[in-house]
Amino acid sequence: MMLEPRIIRTLEEIVGTDNVTTHPTDMLCYSYDATQQSFLPDVVVFPADTAQISLIVKLANVENVPVFPRGAGSGFSGGSLPISGGIVLATARMDKILEIDEENLVARVQPGVVTEQFQLAVEKLGLFYPPDPASLKFSTLGGNAAECAGGPRCVKYGVTKDYIIGLEVVTPQGDIIRTGGVTMKGVVGYDLTKLMVGSEGTLGIITELIIKLLPLPEAKKTMLIMFDSIDGAAQAVSAIIRGKIIPATLEFMDAATLECVRKGTDLKIPAAAKAVLIVEVDGEAQMLDRQTSRISEIVQPLGVVETRIAATPAQSEELWKMRRSVSASLRNVNPDKFNEDICVPRSKVPDMIRRVDEISQRYAIPIVNFGHAGDGNIHVNIMVDAKQEGQLEKAQAAIKEVFAAALEFGGTMSGEHGVGNTKAPYLSMELDPAAVAYMQTIKHALDPKNILNPGKILLEQPVELD
Amino acid sequence: MGRHKTLEDFRPQIDACVKCGACQAQCAVYKSLKRESTVARGKIAIAAALLDKKGPVDERFVLDMSQCLLCGSCHDKCPNLVPTDEIVLAARREIAERKGLSTFGKVLTGVIKRPKLMDVLAKGGARMEKLIFRKVPQHSGLRLRFPVPFIAADRYLPEMTPKPLRERVPEYIPAQQDNESKPLSAFFTGCMINYTYPQIGEALVKVFRFLDLPLWIPPAQGCCGLPAHAAGDVATVDQLADANVTAFAQRKVDTVITACASCNAGIGKYYRAMGDQYAALGKQAEDVLVFLVRMGLVEKLQALPRVENPTRVTYHDPCHLRTQGITAEPRALLKALPGVEFVEMEGAEHCCGLGGTFSVYHYDTSRTIGARKADGIKSSGAELVASACPGCIMQLQDSINHAGLNKQACHVLELIALDLP
């Protein structure tokens, strides 16, 4: 699609010439995200405020041009990709923290604020914003809300949607609405805030967020426990929670992951270790030692190979190194990875891992699993070499089986990455036709011309899955 | 002739970028401009397009490749360790090779459109240049760093000394005792210490005298070649490297010390990558602060009587040391100084924004980055900010001045020299 010059001119009038680009280099640079797919937009705009976004969306409706909102472009499901050309609307300039209200424990921010910057700002005041997606150092709060991002701490603290209590949104037809508010309670009308969070930019563009804050936990303590089997590690997760301790994080790595880390780093991991849990407890400092020793007691009968407990922040960092080295180590297995983020009930984690191993063997593709054991959210990394013929097809088939298994165990295809365009073809595996139709009705009613982020979550033309 | 990698040589590393976006958290230029083409992920995409013959070497390409501080922060924190700094350098060599050496400067003057520059030029920049650089050889990196016509009128510049360091101190200073059994260090002074900050070199000499260690300052040494590297000028890099290899081969030394982090990278990191005949000198390069810690200076400083009202000092990590993991030694020395109360500042590890020629061509962005640094210095409450690179020191002073702070930037060596008996 080539956009008429007058459309570009109007965009320039709205945001200023410096904030509109059609240069081929910029089109290339705004064509991708962390899925490594690439779709060239026709124009990229950098609006400064809500009013400008409203005008852009109204123009897009008049001219029938799709609009693709983009934060940091770090998504793992293609949520920000301009898959049919058109306008990329980057929120980079809307990066101000507008207010941190210490009396009411809420903050107001623009969508382009980087998550970690916000966390640091509130932590300086002794406050806490828990959601911690792995991308928090660069992803934006707007993007986090659009995808309903998760993270390790969600086992105790919940996900992004649990902290967004109000929004300002530009609707698919360009109106500006406010949802929710600054109060913890509010039941007037539909809960549009919850509808927007996780809607992946298909139902509106988030232009301001009202965020609930907690008091910052006084201290935290990290322990790393190695098990001789994945079953032991999984049972440990349930046992810890049954023991009435909810750790702030409960991360696991399976045998295949540990093998990658052994090969990729010089970290010491005993040969007998087949699974690792990294457990972090937080709260009042005096409680933490009691909690870690209680956890040690609980897990002891479950095949513990070794337990390391960090006494200092530096030692804690040392323990986390094992988890942080995973991504880079994976490349030693195969150059390309499909990172799926299925989620199953906590108790089904060992079944799921066994099934994935079986799929991995059957397709002769390495699959490495790690992730958030506490909430059953497993990062299934299907490692392939895309340059080898047939590997991509095999990976696609394996991914579909992984999704099917997750659903069979009562789980979901995506715990935190969202559907985007990558999982859109599989939507009907998880949702029944009536539910899909319900969503389509909402989308069509709000966005009759399919202007906002078309082709995400819901396909324009549903595909037949064999 | 040195061996310089081409962009094509970096194909595997370019392919290793998985577009995760982690570089956005590291890049000071990106944080100022918020455009994808300025961050490593974007530059890698642009470089890949060139290799795949889908993108040209045009004005825009030159601009994009110029917008890099070469600080290496993105390389450090990249999950796949993609060396974007080296890839940018290879792209700049590609520009020089295809379009000629002057392209970089020419295109950028056109593109950055800073009218003030043109004023300076009109007011006889050439005459000024002659005045300033009288003493500086034609191939010194200083001429690349401060191409006078480009320099913003309100930029702080250290004065060029009428008497360079190497004219101030003897070529060889033996140890008073057991000279023969002590390790001999050759001092690679670098252009900035020789021509603009000779006091750093003099401080180094004082510290060596205190430790009674022999020091040789090879008279025939020249510029390390880093600024030429940054401009993609391989012929000058080779010429300078050849001269330095010859100059340092005149005596057998145990170590080649630098007091400029950039020179340390210039002869250390880059000579090592250029082939065997340069690698020997490259492997000998050692930052002076690392050397001094190795020689037990920390313990000797701790033994000195403490001063009553110590000066509050913070430290800025030069990128060319930080990326080598050299962060503890300068701090250990500062903490050991009897007249210093050391405090950390927020963002000590962030680039100062100089980036060699970057600050010349993109002074506005450089200033934005520097302003953040000044905030960190201010809130640390320090009176002095010490560093280990004259380039950083110049930029820090510029940022401090623009922020209206009454503080001073200096080299760790100067503080050590002050506290020695």
Q: How confident is the model at residue B118 (pLDDT cuts 50, 70, 90)?
A: very low
B335 and B352 belong to one structural domain: yes
Q: What are the C-alpha distances in Å from A264 to residues A229, A317, A325, A333?
A: 21, 18, 8, 10
Instruction: Give mean pLDDT, residues A349-357.
Output: 92
Based on the fold, state whether residues A229 and A307 are members of the same structural domain: yes
Comparing A260-274, A353-367, A443-457, which segment has the lowest mean pLDDT? A260-274
On whether both A318 and A343 belong to a single domain, the answer is no
Distance from CA of B19 to the nearest CA of A (A): 5
User: In this structure, are strands A106-109 and A127-128 parallel, antiparallel, or unpaired?
Assistant: unpaired
Q: Are residues A155 and A209 in the same domain?
A: yes
- Indicate if A74 and A120 belong to the same structural domain: no
Q: What distances in angstroms separate CA A329 from CA A255, A337, A357, B413, one per listed residue?
A: 14, 12, 19, 40
Residue with the bigger pLDDT between A221 and B120: it is A221
Q: Are B19 and A33 within 8 A, CB to CB?
A: yes
Mean pLDDT of chain B: 88
Q: Is residue B66 part of a domain?
A: yes
Residues 6+ apart with CB under 8 A from A366: A256, A333, A334, A360, A382, A383
Q: B316 and B285, same structural domain?
A: no
Alpha carbons A245 and A79: distance in angstroms, whole number:
36
pLDDT of residue B229: 87
Same domain, A323 and A379: no
Does residue A435 belong to any structural domain of this protein? Answer: no
Query: Looking at the domain assignment, is residue A463 inside a domain?
Result: no
CA distances to A25, B226, B255, B316 from A343, rounded to whole Å, are 38, 51, 57, 44
Beta-carbon separation of A23 and B18 below 8 A: no
Contact at 8 Å (CB) between A170 and A205? yes
Question: Which residues in chain B have Cβ-Cβ distances shorter than 8 Å to A46?
Answer: 34
From chain B, pick out residues whose CB is under 8 angstroms from the CB of A137: 22, 25
Q: What's the confidence (pLDDT) of residue B135?
A: 59
Inter-chain residue contact B60 with A114, CB threshold 8 Å: no
Please indicate, yes or no, whether residues B31 and B76 belong to a single structural domain of this protein: yes
For A70, the 3-state DSSP assignment is: strand
Q: How far apart are CA A142 and CA A197, in angstroms?
A: 9
Contact check, Cβ <8 Å, A328/B21: no
Question: Which of the listed residues A328, A360, A389 is the one where a domain comes to its end?
Answer: A328
Question: Are B279 and B301 members of one domain?
Answer: no
| 8 Å CB contact of B79 and A33 | no
Note whether A255 and A346 are same-domain residues.
no
Q: Which of A24, A46, A328 sits opposite B81 (nearest CB)?
A: A328
Nearest residue in B to A94, CA atom: B34
Residue B123 confidence (pLDDT) above 50: no
CA A337, A343, A348: angle at the middle one, nearest 5?
A: 115
Which residue type is seen at B325?
G
CATH number at residue B20: 1.10.1060.10
The answer for A 152-211 residues in CB contact with B (under 8 A) is none
Q: Is the pLDDT of residue A131 over 80?
A: yes
The whole-angstrom separation of Cα A319 and Cα A308 is 8
Residue contact A335–B16, C-beta within 8 A: yes
Residue B1 lies in a domain: no
- Report if residue B104 sits inside a domain: yes
**Residue B144 is assigned to a structural domain of this protein:** no
Residue B126 pLDDT: 40
Phi-psi region at A243: left, alpha or beta (left = phi > 0; alpha = psi -120 to 50): alpha
Closest CA to A402 of A439, A440, A371: A371
Interchain contact, A30 vs B45, CB within 8 Å: no
Same domain, B369 and B394: yes
**pLDDT for position B127:** 41
Q: Please name the residue of chain A whose CA is at the shortest distance from the CA of residue B22.
A: A138
Note which residues in 254-313 of chain A have CB less than 8 A from chain B: none
The answer to whether residue A183 is domain-embedded is: yes
Instruction: Determine the pLDDT at residue B140.
Output: 64
The arithmetic mean of pLDDT across residues A374-385, rounded, is 93
Question: Which residue bears the tokens 């500042």?
Answer: B345
pLDDT for the residue B117? 41
Query: In CATH, what number is assigned to the domain containing residue A40?
Result: 3.30.43.10
Distance from CA of A35 to the nearest CA of B (A): 8
Domain limit, last residue, from B276, B294, B312: B294
Q: A320 and A235, same structural domain?
A: yes
Let me know if residue B15 belongs to a domain. Answer: yes
A37: tokens are 């797919």
On whether the CB atoms of residues A252 and A373 are closer than 8 A, the answer is: yes
Token output for B211: 């430790």
Same domain, A324 and A338: no
Among the listed residues A124, A125, A83, the one whose alpha carbon sits nearest the alpha carbon of residue A102 = A125
Supply the Cα-derived Rg of chain B in whole angstroms.
21
Chain A with chain B: Cβ pairs closer than 8 A: 70
**CB contact (8 A) between residue A29 and residue B45:** yes
| Lowest-confidence region among A306-315, A317-326, A334-343, B98-107 | B98-107
Q: Is B16 on the interface with A (CB under 8 A)?
A: yes
B235 & B315 share domain: no
Could you tell me if A17 lies within 8 Å of chain B, comparing CB atoms? no
| CA B58 vs CA A25, A145, B103: distances in Å | 11, 39, 10
User: Is-above-0.95 flag for pTM?
Assistant: no
Q: What is the pLDDT of residue B201?
A: 97
Mean pLDDT to the nearest integer, B368-381: 95
In angstroms, the CA B371 to CA B354 distance is: 12
Q: Give the pLDDT confidence score for residue A43 in this predicted structure.
A: 98
Q: Is residue A458 situated within a structural domain?
A: no
Instruction: Tell whether the model's pLDDT for residue B52 goes beyond 70.
Output: yes
Residue B399 belongs to domain spanning: 297-419
Question: In Å, how far is B45's CA from the nearest CA of chain A?
Answer: 7
Rg value, chain A, Cα? 23
Q: Do the beta carbons of residue B109 and residue B150 sit within 8 Å?
A: yes
- pLDDT grade, residue B137 (50/70/90)? low
User: Residue B228's pLDDT band (boundaries 50, 70, 90)?
Assistant: confident
CA atoms of B347 and B100, how far apart (whole Å): 38
- In terms of domains, do B286 and B172 share one? yes
Judge: B24–A29 Cβ closer than 8 Å, yes or no.
Answer: no
3-state secondary structure chain B: CCCCCCCHHHHHHHHCCCCCCHHHHCCHHHHHHCCHHHCHHHHHHHHHHHHCCCCCCCHHHHHHHHCCCCCCHHHHHCCCCCCHHHHHHHHHHHHHHHHCCCHHHHHHHHHHCCHHHHHHHHCCHHHHHHHHHCCCCCCCHHHHHCCHHHCCCCCCCCCCCCCCHHHHCCCEECCCCCHHHCCCEEEECHHHHHHHCHHHHHHHHHHHHHHCCCEECCCCCCCCCHHHHHCCCHHHHHHHHHHHHHHHCCCCCCEEEECCHHHHHHHHHHHHHCCHHHHHHHHHEEEHHHHHHHCCHHHHHHCCCCCCCCEEEEECCCHHHHCCCCCHHHHHHHHHCCCEEECCCCCCCCCCCCCCCHHHHCHHHHHHHHHHHHHHHHHHCCCEEEECCHHHHHHHHHHHHHCCCCCEEEEHHHHHHHHCC
Number of compact structural domains in chain A: 4
Nearest to A138 among B24, B35, B64 (CB): B24
Secondary structure, 3-state, A116-144: HHHHHHHHCCCEECCCCCCCCCCCEHHHH
- Name the DSSP class of A303: T
Q: Does residue A447 lie in a domain region?
A: no
Q: Is residue A18 part of a domain?
A: yes
For B108, the token pair is: 């950028």
Answer yes or no: are the C-beta atoms of B116 and B171 closer than 8 Å. Answer: no
The CATH code of the domain that includes B317 is 3.40.50.1860
Name the residue of chain A whose CA is nearest to B80's CA. A328
Residue found under tokens 């949104």: A169
Q: Are residues B324 and B278 in the same domain?
A: no
Q: For residue B151, is it within any domain?
A: no
Given a cut of 80, whether residue B116 has pLDDT beyond it is no
pLDDT of B109 > 60? The answer is no
Considering only CB atoms, A92 lies closest to which of B20, B34, B79, namely B34
What local confidence, expressed as pLDDT, does residue B124 receive? 35
φ, ψ of residue A289 to 5 degrees: the values are -60, -40
Q: What is the mean pLDDT of residues B9-26?
A: 95
Per DSSP bridges, beta strands B185-188 and B215-216 are parallel
Per-residue pLDDT of A261-296, as tens digits, reads 898 888 899 999 999 999 999 999 999 999 999 999
The answer to whether the Cβ–Cβ distance between A28 and B49 falls below 8 Å is yes
Give yes or no for A216 touching B (CB within 8 A). no
Check if the beta carbon of residue A164 is closer than 8 Å to that of residue A193: yes
Within-domain flag for A424: no
B112 touches chain A (CB under 8 A): no
B346 — contact with chain A (CB < 8 Å)?
no
Task: Tell me, yes or no, whether A114 and A35 share the same domain.
Answer: no
Which pLDDT score is estimated for B114? 43
A439-463 burial, b at 16+ Cβ within 10 Å, e below that, comes to beeebeebbeebbbbbbbbbbeeee
**A73: chain B residues, CB-CB within 8 Å:** 19, 21, 36
Burial of B178 (0-12, 13-18, 19+ CB in 10 A): exposed
Tell me A463's DSSP state: P
Q: Chain A contacts of B46, Cβ < 8 Å?
A: 25, 28-29
B187, part of any domain? yes
Residue range B257-270, pLDDT digits in tens: 999 999 999 999 99
Chain A residues close to B79, C-beta within 8 Å = 327-328
End-to-end CA distance of chain B: 47
Does pLDDT of B308 surpass 70? yes
Do the chains contact at B36 and A26, CB–CB below 8 Å?
yes
At residue A430, the pLDDT reads 97
Q: How far apart are CA B237 and CA B214, in angstroms?
A: 30
Residue B46 pLDDT greater than 70, yes or no = yes
A137: nearest CB among B25, B60, B64: B25
Same domain, B251 and B286: yes
Interface membership of A36 toward B (CB under 8 Å): yes
Instruction: Indicate the SS3 state at residue A431.
Output: coil
Q: B64 to chain A: which residues are within 8 Å by CB?
A: 25
CA distance A235 to chain B (A): 31
pLDDT at position B115 over 50: no
Inside any domain, residue B400: yes
How far, in Å, CA of B151 to CA of B155, rounded?
A: 7
A72 → closest Cβ in B24, B37, B42: B24
Tell me the C-alpha to C-alpha distance, in Å, between residue B82 and each of A110, A308, A363, B85, B275.
32, 32, 30, 9, 22
B277-304 residue pLDDT tens? 899 999 999 999 999 999 999 999 999 9
Residue A466 has pLDDT above 60, yes or no: no
Average pLDDT of chain A, as a whole number: 94
ipTM: 0.93
Q: Which helix (H) or strand (E) holds A251?
A: strand A249-253
From B279, B294, B309, the end of a domain falls on: B294
- Quick: pLDDT tens for B330-363: 999 999 999 999 999 999 999 999 987 788 888 8
The pLDDT assigned to B56 comes to 92
Q: Is the pLDDT of residue B170 over 90?
A: yes
For chain A, say whether B33 makes contact (Cβ under 8 Å). no
Say yes or no: A73 and A108 in one domain.
no
| Disruptive mutation site among B27, B36, B75, B349 for chain A (greatest number of A CBs within 10 Å) | B36
Q: Which H/E stretch holds residue A27?
A: helix A24-29
Which residue in A30, A31, A93 is closest to B34 by CB distance? Answer: A93
Give the structural domain span for A352. Answer: 333-408
Q: Is A120 within 8 Å of chain B by CB? A: no
Verify that B306 and B274 share a domain, yes or no: no
What are the phi and psi torsion angles at B253 (to 5°)? Answer: -120, 160
Residues of B in contact with A138 (CB under 8 A): 21-25
| Backbone φ, ψ for residue A284 (5° rounding) | -65, 135
Last residue of a domain, one of A215, A247, A278: A215
Mutate to test the interface with B, among A21, A26, A28, A81 (most CBs of B within 10 A): A28
Could you tell me the two tokens for A288? Answer: 């933490």
Q: End of a domain among B259, B294, B329? A: B294
Are both B197 and B307 inside the same structural domain?
no
**Secondary structure element (H or E) that encloses residue A192, with its range:** helix A192-196
CB-based contact A137 B22, cutoff 8 Å: yes
Does A325 contact chain B (CB < 8 Å)? no
Interface check A29 vs B, CB under 8 A: yes
Burial grade of A58 (CB within 10 A; 0-12, 13-18, 19 or more): middle
**β-pairing verdict for A106-109 and A164-170:** unpaired
State whether A183 and A245 are in the same domain.
no
Test B45 with A331 for CB contact under 8 angstroms. Answer: no
> Residue A462 falls within a domain, yes or no?
no
Burial class (CB in 10 A: 0-12, 13-18, 19+), B79: buried
Of the candidates A29, A95, A116, the beta carbon closest to that of B36 is on A29
Q: What is the CATH number of the domain that holds A390?
A: 3.30.70.2740
Interface of B with A in 81-110 (CB under 8 A): 81
Are residues B232 and B268 located together in one domain of the fold?
Answer: yes
Which is more confidently placed, A255 or B106?
A255
What pLDDT does residue A461 have?
Answer: 60
Using CA atoms, how far apart are residues B357 and B68, in angstroms rounded to an integer? 10
Check residue A1 and give its pLDDT.
59
Report percent pLDDT > 70 for chain A: 98
Residue B169 has pLDDT above 70, yes or no: yes
Q: Give the distance from residue A373's alpha carbon to the nearest chain B alpha carbon, in angstroms.
A: 23
- Which among A33, A59, A90 is the end of a domain? A90
| Residue among B19, B61, B81 minimizing CB distance to A34 | B19
Q: Considering its fold, how many domains does chain B have in total?
A: 3
